[in-house]
Every structure is written in C-alpha cells, then in structure tokens.
Amino acid sequence: MNKTKRYQKIKIEKLETVSSKLEQLESKPQSEFNLRESIYYLRNQLKNALKKGYSYEDLSDILAEQDILVSPATLKQHLNDIYNKSASNKKKNQPSYMKASPKITPHELIESARDLSNTTAMQGEKIELEKTLNSTSTAEETDRSNPDVAAVYKELCKEAIFSEDEKQADAADRLFENAIARPVIGSLPSQVHRAMKAWIERNQLLKLRDESVLKFCKWFVCNGEYDSVNLFISSLNCYENQMTHIRVRNFGLCDEWSQVE
C-alpha cells in the first residue's frame, strides 16, 4: 500500500498522463452484491412475481434456495424503499442502492425510540427538540457530504469539520470550546472514526474526561449491514470504557438483528 507524501508538487504532464489512463479504464465486472443491491438487481422479477399472486413469504423461500437469506418483512421493506426512491429520483437517474444509507435525523430518532417502546409518537417533536437544543445544548453539523441535521435545524446548527488534513487539524476545535460551556450534540459522518480519534488524541480530550471536565456519549445509528456493524465495533473496541456507546438499530432498513447481538 502506498503511503501519502505530504506537500508534494506534481507536474501537469503527469496529471495529464494519469487523466488519459483513467479515461481509458473499462468498467470492472462486479461479481457479488450485498443484500440491498441484490434485491435491487432482482427488483423487476420480484415485482412481477408479486403481480402473479406470490407472497413475500414465497419469494423469501425462493431466494433462500440460493442462500439469499432475507425475511419477508425485510424484503418488502427493501422493495418499497427501492421503488419509492426510484420515483422521487427519476431526474437524477441513479439507483437507490448507490446512495448512502439514509441517516436518522434527531427528529426521526425520537420517533424511532418511541416506536421501539410501543408508544405513540406525538406530533410537534421537532418544535420541542428545537426548544431543547436552543435552551440547553449546542448543535454541530460535521457531515459535509450529507448535512441532514443542518438542513432540518438550519438556524440552530453550526458547522465543524473533522479532517485528516494537517491544515484543517483544528477545524473541529469549536466542539470542545462549546462543550466547556454547555452540552454539544454533534452529527457525525459514517467514516469519521479515524479523523475523530486523531483529534481526540491530539488534544488529549480523554484526560479531560478523567478529570470530569468532559463526558462523551456516542449514539451510533446502525443499519444492520456488515460495514455499519464493523464501524460500531471498531469504535467500541477503540474507546472501551472511556466513551459511552449507544447503538440505535434502524428498523426501517433492517429487522434482522440476531447476527449483531
């Protein structure tokens, strides 16, 4: 594996050579798919089978014959998700499985938690959460690629950046500065672990935790897929007892969690 050489200068001739080579690359054939991609691949055939009177239980059994293991409920959820997104994204002409897995906003998180405890989600939660954030906490959006929390709570959310770029090493310091005054709720991108870990270690923030100056609590929204589970386990193993971890199971994307327990 190549290592990064920082502050290197690259001649335009080399860039043009690489550009030409990249343009000539042919598409690599894909030999395997994850579960969501597989259902997308079979979406038309599955839909036609449903029209012929077959149930989701029947389709689940047929898929199981080829070691494609999915419950009827999850199969139904994935198909509904595919066609709902396909309808709303026709202009973009992009398959739904190529998009990042949906993240749960704080408003949706409250609703999910209430659903899990078999209670009825009440209206007006966004308003109540806004009041809570405004009066007791500071909200920080650190996900530049999908700033969904900032999109919902525009007037309340500030921006901070986790980066492995040395020039932006202190771009997340505002999180610490604000946390000294009152609690900070940060929306983190899925692949933030390495950059966040470097920032915490560089500023020795876990020592401040030991001195009761700071406390950390990481809410991890998991969609049940392999990469998502591994990211959660990596974070848990890294911080162990130094940071509280709360796993939120996104039942909207997965209803089979036995492999994670």
Mean pLDDT of 53-81: 88
Instruction: Please work out, in degrees rounded to the nearest 5, the angle formed at the alpha carbon of residue 56 by the alpha carbons of 70 and 117.
Output: 65
Residue predicted with more confidence, 4 or 218:
218
100 within 8 A of 146, measured Cβ to Cβ: yes
Question: Does 239 lie in the same domain as 116?
Answer: yes
What are the DSSP calls for 140-152, one per residue? EE--SS--HHHHH
CA pair distance 78, 224, nearest whole angstrom? 13
Residue 140 lies in a domain: yes
Q: How high is the pLDDT of residue 58?
A: 92
Q: Is the Cβ–Cβ distance between 196 and 166 less than 8 Å?
A: no
Q: What is the DSSP string of 82-121?
A: HHHHHHHTTTTT--GGGSPPPPPPHHHHHHHHHHHTT-PP
Say if residue 80 is in the same domain as residue 125.
Answer: no
Long-range interactions of 125-128: CB distance < 8 A, separation 24+: 126/152
The C-alpha atoms of residue 215 and residue 206 are separated, in whole angstroms, by 9
- Kindly state whether residues 73 and 112 are assigned to the same domain: no
pLDDT in tens, 109-166: 444 444 444 333 444 455 555 555 556 677 888 887 888 878 877 777 788 888 777 7
Q: How many angstroms from the chain centroid is the CA of residue 100?
A: 7
One domain for residues 209 and 232: yes
Q: Which two tokens stand for residue 78?
A: 């994935």
54 located within any domain: yes
* Cβ–Cβ under 8 Å, residues 221 and 248: yes
For the record, the structure tokens of 105 come out as 């906003």
Question: 117 and 65, same structural domain?
Answer: no
Same domain, yes or no: 207 and 234: yes
Residue 68 has pLDDT above 60, yes or no: yes
**Euclidean distance between CA atoms 196 and 172, whole angstroms:** 9
Tokens found for residue 65? 């014959």
**Full residue range of the structural domain in which residue 73 is found:** 35-91
Question: pTM score > 0.75 for this model?
Answer: no
Same domain, 192 and 110: yes
Residue 77 and residue 45 in one domain: yes
20 in a structural domain: no
Written as one letter, the residue type at 98 is M
Same domain? For 239 and 114 the reply is: yes
Rank 93-97, 212-216, 245-249 by mean pLDDT and report only the highest. 245-249
